[in-house]
Amino acid sequence: MLEVFRDYINSKTSITDAAFEVIKSLCIVKKLRKKQYLLQEGDTWKYHAFICKGCLRAYRIDDKGVEHTTKFAIENHWTGDRAALLSGEPASYNIDAIEDSVLLLITNENFITICKEVPAFNEMINTILNKSFVANENRIHAAISYSAEENYQNFLRNSPDIANRVPQHMIASYLGISPETLSRIRNQAAKRQS
């Protein structure tokens, strides 16, 4: 599965074979069966996780026991609990596999080492961080600005690859609406089509 990671890096920057060997040696391959947890609320979390194959979701559980999906991650995405990683505090997110998945884990310590040793990798990571920062800003804007239906249509438009792979009730949770509401939105949209 390490070729997936190599291809990913190559698509974003250019590093030497030697540099990749270093990176490779610090990667832990982790396989997850569908429904298995990568991380549970309360755990400590020390990794950057790159997805070679599969699909995961990160979510929090509120006082009423309801799950709220904060993000999905598929091939060539990163996931983890950034807050917990940076602070050392117990995780507030749960992350589990929606499909059988293969990940690469890199401890934050090793990750920092790689960034120091391989400037191109560091650059790449900075760019990714910036992009996801902007993506988060856009998601905030969407959440406060648009109706449930608009948000759903935008999600379909922007993330068709994810929309096709994850169960509908998780999309509802991601959008902050009930599964019933999403079902009705789809139903009405379909009617309008015809």
Partner DNA sequence: TGATGTTCTTGATAAATGTCAATTGTTTTT
Partner DNA sequence: AAAAACAATTGACATTTATCAAGAACATCA
Instruction: Return residues touching a copy of itself (CB under 8 A).
Output: 60, 62, 66, 68-70, 82-83, 86, 129-134, 136-141, 143-146, 173-176
Closer residue to DNA (CB): 158 or 181: 181
Four-residue CA torsion sign, 2, 105, 98, 5: negative
Q: What are phi and psi of 13, to 5 degrees?
A: -160, -170
Q: Is 56 in the site for DNA (CB under 7 A)?
A: no
Task: For the chain, give the number of residues.
Answer: 194
Minimum CB separation of residue 33 from a copy of itself in Å reads 27
Q: Is 186 in the site for DNA (CB under 7 A)?
A: yes
89 close to 45: Cβ distance less than 8 angstroms? no
Q: Is 105 in the site for DNA (CB under 7 A)?
A: no
Q: Is 169 in the site for DNA (CB under 7 A)?
A: yes
Structure-token pair, residue 34: 């569908």
46 close to 57: Cβ distance less than 8 angstroms? no
Structure-token pair, residue 71: 């993000």
Minimum CB separation of residue 27 from a copy of itself in Å reads 22
In the block, which residue shows the tokens 């991601």? 174
158 binds, among a copy of itself, DNA, none (CB under 5 to 8 A by kind): none
Residues at the site binding DNA, with contacts judged by CB under 7 A: 34, 147-149, 167-169, 176-187
